[in-house]
Amino acid sequence: MTQNTIAATSPARPTVPGVGRSTSRRTRTNVMEDTRSFEHTMSGHRRGPPYLRRDNKSYTVCTMGITGSTVRVSVARWGLLYLAVGLIVAFVQSDNGQTAWYPAIAVGVALLLLHGLRWWPVVLAVELVVSGAQHWQLTGGLVSAIVTTGEIVAMVWLLHRFRFRTTFERVDDVVLMGAIATAVAMAGSALGNLALHLTNSSHWSYTDGWKIWTVGDLTGTVLVLPTLLLLSHRQPTTPGAPVLPRSSRLEAQVVSLLTAGVLARYFATVRVHELTIVNAGPLTLCLMPIIWIAVRFGLARTAALIVALDGVAVVAYVGIGPHLSTITIDSPDSLDLVTLQLPILAVGLAALGVAAAIEAVQRAVGLERVLIDASPVAIVALDEDGIVQSWNAAAEQIFGYSAAEAIGHTPPMVANAQELDEQRNRFVSGEVTIVQYRHKNGSVVTGRLFGSSVVGADGKWGRVGIIEDISKEVAAIERQALLNTAFDQAGEAIIITTPEPAIIYANPAALNSSGWSLAEVLGENPRIFKSGQQGPELYAQLWQTLMNGERWEGILVNRRKSGDLYEERCTIGPVFSAQGKLIAYVAVKHDLSRERLLEADLERSVQIRGTALQAMEHIERQATAHDTAHAFCERIAQVTGTEVVVATFRHNGSITALAHHGATVSGIADVAIPQEMAEIYLRVTNEGSWASSPISPRVPTSPWTAHFIAHQVSGTLQAAIRSEGRLVGALILITRAPNGATWMAEHLDLADELGSFASVLLGSQIDAELEREVSKDRIAGVIERHEFHPVFQPFVSLETGEVGGYEALTRFDDGTRPDLMITEAWNVGLGLEMEEACAREAIVMAQRMLPGMSISLNFSPETVLSGRAALVVASANFQVVVEVTEHTAITDYPALRAALEGCGKIKVSVDDAGAGFASMRHILELHPDVVKLDIALIRDIDTDLGRQALAAGLCHYAAETGTVLIAEGVETQAEADMVRRLGVQHGQGYHFGKPARIG
């Protein structure tokens, strides 16, 4: 699913976080924010990057992977405990012991406020109860409670207001902010109370005490808030300190401020009117060793100074209260007491901090190995030289190398030094990248690498890499990409909807068939395709099937965006999650438009074929192309109800109507389309069947156009008639139907079918007719242009050797054999003309070159019967011998004899005697003056007794009837001697002379 990917507006595809994103100039903070969740379970707790979160009714400080300490402090439990202790002490102690319960109540109030806003009524009630217990003025207690509450609310609001502007990223920075807030609050409270003390009497009554505390608290608040604003924009300065994710920094700051800053201001106001300004300084100095120890030994990484280690740090704060409450400067002895107690207090606090640090480190080290080895991701630590220092169990499983094989060496899963350098650079830049590693067995492992640079206690730099095996994830993505591509390239329409349903994916095939764009269908109900052509029962049955969790199959009539209707064969099925929840519907649809068109085409084709077969019945080929075409036109017109023309494309380029049927076309029977128009018509028809109105842009106006227009012809269909693939004619169907365009569209295939039938029936006949016309034109041209000349062959007396006369023969200028040319002339109907022309040419030449000689001219019986022979010989001034040839059989000998008698004073000769029965009958019926013995009889007659016997018989006939015999084809002297001895008077052949031109 490419371009057509299913993304925000289509079904989501699984992606690998970080793939394809630029990670340039990314800080380690950004990296940790992007990778906040390696999700797995260990001992019932969720593991992940360090963050401080509220879990149920407690705050949890989660550390970096290498410290591994997780501590829970029940906020509500400790808060209520301290409140209870403080209230009990407040009611049982005297006025001089009030400082013993102040710190306890302060701690309880702070912890309750941390737990949630629902504790605000409890806090206010405690303030009022405490005020009443000490016999204060109710107004003073209420004002003190309101001011205290307002201070805390102001700081919480401030942190929320600037939560996106703070730059605190490390736990020790948060702790340091709390410590500075503590010092500023103490100093502010002291200054405020000191100002009241100096401007009034040195001894204040309890009835005015609320004024002192109120002024002190307000002064501290005024100094704390600007300080916090400045601190919130301070850049971190501690290299290598643990980084808090952005989501937990605000919560960590709230913890630090409320448990450090707010409590410290409570402590500072305890009997503050009995302190001098010098008391604030030593008190701050008492806190600094604990802060330093926490940062140095890693307690800051867990915020243990504030809320960790089961309340040890809180107890330390609480423990300060009673001691401070006894420090006064009413006398020099008291000042000495302060001087002695402050160092002792500082040492005690330092010892407490060291003990807490040792406890935290021991607990962290104990958990470190367990956490690292239990991690499902590979954790690999390298020194500054790139040598493996730590290799957890997950690394062994993912890469196949044991810790012994990896530690002390360069990472074994890295192929070469160049790749190792590239990964070192990723560690420094803090990039999150997808990297391919080499498994011990040679396979490829695809991992997501989280790299970070760290600095050790000795100041040396190293690198820690967290590698998650995403090989299966990547393989799944590749498989999904293949499926997406298959969906996008599928020929079937695929649509996916939500259960509502709303369309979340449509592949290109679905868009193409419906006409909608992807943007138009996404989010829409599938009813966007509904046509309204099908009743509600169908859709009710469809949804009932789907609601039963079953697949529905059927035909839907849908509507395209254009409004056109189309049918689809649909398969719709529900998709369920592993938990059995319905998550989607998938519809696979096949557009039936093409099938419906094919069905309609097939039905129309069957109808056309039936009409064509009906038209073909009872049509038989006739003797001529014209007769066959006429019968064809009558039958087609009868079946189709149209007027029909069979046109032929003449060799001269014109088009003429060979046959036609119908009143409209009768007027064009003898009108030919000129050559220049016919060429275009022929080219268009040769391309295939076509339709046109009387005035069509495909062909120019022809002589037929005006006739068609005059007779209201609305459309014509033309189909080619072919012979052996060559275009020889066209079948033309003509209609005067009102809607000619519709008629032509419906009958074009029929015209094509009938054209094919006409090609089988008429094609060869039309082709032969066209060839005959070509031949006829050629023969006519030969006659007209006298492309021939006469030659003369002598016949001689076998006794004396004298020439007795000549036979006139014809030779054609193009070299065509005379017998072939004469036969072709007779075939095209120009035999009479050809014989007459040849005879006249011979007479002209003989009169000029052979005066007084007897000339034998060849005429067929048809020429003699036509009277043409008589006309020709009448122009001769010499003895003409008419030699009757055997071109065709003679059926009427009396008529022929009469025609010969009409030729005047001629002699008659019969050719080819002895070659067959016909020549013998000619001799008997015509009583010729001359009989020519055929060359087949003369050949080898000198050695063949049979030929000699037959020739002797003819000689006897000649002697009895007075007929002159001429032996044709004499080639040798032996043949001449033999026929002379048999009684033949004359001889003709190459032995005596070849046919030759005279002159």
pLDDT per position as a tens digit, 263-299: 444 444 433 333 333 333 333 333 444 444 444 443 3
Q: Are 264 and 185 in contact, with CB atoms under 8 Å apart?
A: yes
Contact 721, 758 (CB under 8 A): yes
Contacts of 621 (CB under 8 A, 6+ apart): 628, 761, 765
Terminal CA-to-CA distance of the chain, rounded, Å?
98
The answer to whether the beta carbons of residues 149 and 128 sit under 8 Å apart is no
803: Cβ contacts below 8 Å, ≥ 6 apart: 794, 795, 796, 853
From CA 721, how far away is CA 646, in angstroms rounded? Answer: 9
pLDDT at residue 42 above 90? no
pTM (2 d.p.)? 0.42
pLDDT value at 325 more than 80: no
Beta-strand runs (E) in 375-431: 378-383, 388-391
What topology is assigned to 786-988 in CATH?
A: TIM Barrel (3.20.20)
* Beta pairing, strands 378-383 & 986-988: unpaired
Query: What does the mean pLDDT of the chain come to?
Result: 70
The predicted pLDDT at position 930 comes to 94
Alpha-carbon distance of 650 to 644, in angstroms, equals 19
CATH 3.20.20.450 domain locations along the chain: 786-988
Of 215-219, 648-652, 810-814, least confident by mean pLDDT is 215-219
| Res 29 pLDDT > 50 | no
Q: What is the dihedral of CA 676, 678, 679, 682, to 10 degrees?
A: 170
What φ, ψ does residue 4 adopt, rounded to 5°? -80, 60
Q: What is the per-residue pLDDT across 296-323, written as a single tens digit (0 to 9) for each?
A: 443 333 333 333 222 233 333 333 333 3
Q: Are strands 906-913 and 930-933 parallel, antiparallel or unpaired?
A: parallel
Residue type at 155? M
* Cα within 13 Å of Cα(562), Cβ side: 8
Q: Which of 970, 974, 881 has its CA nearest to residue 933?
A: 970
Measured torsion, CA atoms of residues 802, 804, 808, 814, in degrees rounded to the nearest 10: -10
Name the residue with higher pLDDT: 964 or 200: 964
pLDDT in tens, 101-117: 554 555 555 555 545 54
Q: Each residue of 912-942: pLDDT tens digit?
A: 776 665 678 888 888 999 999 989 899 999 9
| Residue 178 confidence (pLDDT) above 80 | no
Write down the pLDDT at residue 350.
41
- Selected residue with higher pLDDT from 352 and 902: 902
Homologous superfamily of 28-38+375-469: PAS domain (3.30.450.20)
Residue 872 in this model has a pLDDT that exceeds 80 = yes
487 pLDDT tier (thresholds 50, 70, 90): confident
| Domain 475-591 in CATH 3.40.50.300 | no
pLDDT surpasses 70 at 497: yes
Cα 45 to chain center, whole Å?
48
In three-state secondary structure terms, 859 is: strand
CATH code: domain 599-780 is 3.30.450.40
Compare 58 and 204 and report the one with higher pLDDT: 204
Identify the weakest region by mean pLDDT among 25-29, 631-635, 968-972: 25-29
Distance CA 865, CA 892 (A): 10
- Lowest-confidence region among 252-256, 467-471, 655-659: 252-256
Residue (of 624, 596, 604, 631) closest to 753 by Cα position: 604
pLDDT mean over 520-533: 89
217 or 781: whose pLDDT is higher?
Answer: 781
Q: Is the dihedral of CA 254, 255, 259, 261 positive or negative?
A: negative
Binning pLDDT at 50, 70 and 90, where does residue 845 land? very high
Residues of the chain with CATH 3.30.450.20: 28-38+375-469, 475-591
Distance (Å, whole) CA 500 – CA 504: 11
pLDDT at 892 over 70: yes
| 886 Cβ neighbours under 8 A, 6+ residues apart | 911, 912, 916, 918, 919, 922
Mean pLDDT of 806-818: 94
Contacts of residue 293, defined as CB under 8 A and 6 or more positions apart, other chains included, come to 299, 350, 353, 354, 356, 357
Across 821-845, average pLDDT: 93
Q: What is the pLDDT of residues 133-153, one digit of tens each?
A: 444 444 444 555 455 555 555
* 3-class DSSP assignment, residue 613: helix
Cβ contacts of 551 within 8 Å, gap of 6 or more: 545, 571, 572, 573, 574
521 in Cβ contact with 4 (< 8 Å): no
Cα 745 from chain centroid?
Answer: 35
Give residue-wise pLDDT tens across range 732-783.
888 888 888 888 888 888 888 888 888 999 889 988 888 888 899 899 999 9
For the ranges 486-500, 518-532, 983-997, the lowest mean pLDDT is seen at 486-500
pLDDT score for 691: 80
Where, residue-wise, is CATH 3.30.450.40 in the chain? 599-780
